[in-house]
Amino acid sequence: MKASAFAYARATSLENALELLTAHGEKAKVLSGGQSLLPAMNLRLIAPEFVVDIGDLLELHGVAVHGDVLTIGALTRHADLLGSPEIASHAPLLREAVAHVAHPAIRNRGTIGGSLAQADPASELPACMLTLGATIVARGPGGERRIAAHEFFTGIFETALLPQELLVAVELPMPAKDATHFFHEFSRRHGDYAIVGLAAQARVKNDRFADLRLGYFAIGDRPLLASSASKLVGVVITSAVLSEACSALGAELAPLEDQQATPAMRRHLAKVLLTRCVSSLLARSDLGAGASA
Ligand code: FAD
């Protein structure tokens, strides 16, 4: 199928993009890498009357460190994240997750801003944003606002962005020097959307978690920062403690049913991931902080 007829403009500046979005309101859609927008238009799942291409806005590209904040421009492509030394040093969880997003051809065009604005609950990057405590920077006609990642994702393909706003950047706090991470997703093939996935970051001291953040994806209508992680912090991890945390996790999840899995299967897989995550992070701490899986 082909997309319905639409008008197109290539924004010449950030201000120009915002003017176009304000003028066309809900009838307009932003085009970044087009890896989600164009398939949806071609399948006629959506039919925007106006497409605002922001690809020329160089100020939205790139990764930079400012003090203790890592800033990633919205138009930074998945492939750029994979090749960035700053991401490798300061956000290794994100680097590992990006390698699971689709395939090289899509990673060469798709952008972090597009992935977050798309808010597919099965996407890897939104869950990483929760785990890493990201702030999403949006720019609209009234200026800039910062939205905590846990308030940004509001439902399936829904975010806190307004139609006339652009996602311009993501800010990540620098992780603690002794932070370690775990990433795993169950999917039919590498590069497919996950059936269930977990992006976790932790600090381990004396065989106990000093901090543990568990970002699940493909588990409900949006990514979830599991509060059951608190059951594992500051205590000796025994099988009873782990079992209690798994039960608490099962209770807080609201998995969806689709062609890939039933809710019961997703709950089960989420608990399997939690168990693997805990043993992997604790085993790594025995090898010394910073060791990778
Ligand atoms: P676009 O397609 O350009 O835009 C996506 C949406 O976000 C649109 O609604 C657009 O209007 C809006 N938007 C884009 N940029 C902005 C902005 N700066 N501000 C406000 N709104 C904006 N994704 C995964 O996460 N994991 C996968 O495993 C995966 N597998 C895929 C497999 C295939 C075959 C395909 C085609 C896609 C797959 N994707 C996957 C989706 C894709 O990788 C991402 O969703 C995509 O990279 C989004 O980025 P984009 O720049 O292409 O966004």
Domain ranges of the chain: 7-53, 58-173, 180-292
Burial of 93 (0-12, 13-18, 19+ CB in 10 A): buried
Contact 153, 119 (CB under 8 A): yes
Q: What is the per-residue pLDDT for 289? A: 45
Averaged pLDDT, 248-275 = 95
Paired residues of 155 in beta bridges: 158
Instruction: Output the pTM of the full model.
Output: 0.95
Nearest atom in ligand 1 to 157's CA: 9
CA of 293 relative to ligand 1 center, distance in Å: 28
124 lines ligand 1 (CB under 6 A): yes
Confidence band for 284, pLDDT divided at 50, 70 and 90: confident
CB atoms near residue 130 (< 10 Å): 24
> Bigger pLDDT: 275 or 291?
275
Q: Is CATH 3.30.43.10 the classification given to domain 7-53? A: yes
Neighbours of 125 (CB within 10 A): 26
Round the average pLDDT of the chain to a whole number and report it.
95
Cα dihedral angle (94, 97, 98, 100), rounded to 10 degrees?
Answer: 180
| Assigned CATH class of 58-173 | alpha beta
CATH classification number, 180-292, choose in 3.30.980.10, 3.40.190.170, 3.30.390.50, 3.40.718.10:
3.30.390.50
pLDDT in tens, 71-90: 999 999 999 999 999 999 99
Pocket test for ligand 1, best of 29, 36, 60 (most atoms within 8 A of CB): 36
Query: How far is it, in rounded angstroms, from Cα 50 to Cα 21?
Result: 9
User: What is the tens place of the pLDDT at every residue in 143-175?
Assistant: 999 999 999 999 999 999 999 999 999 999 999
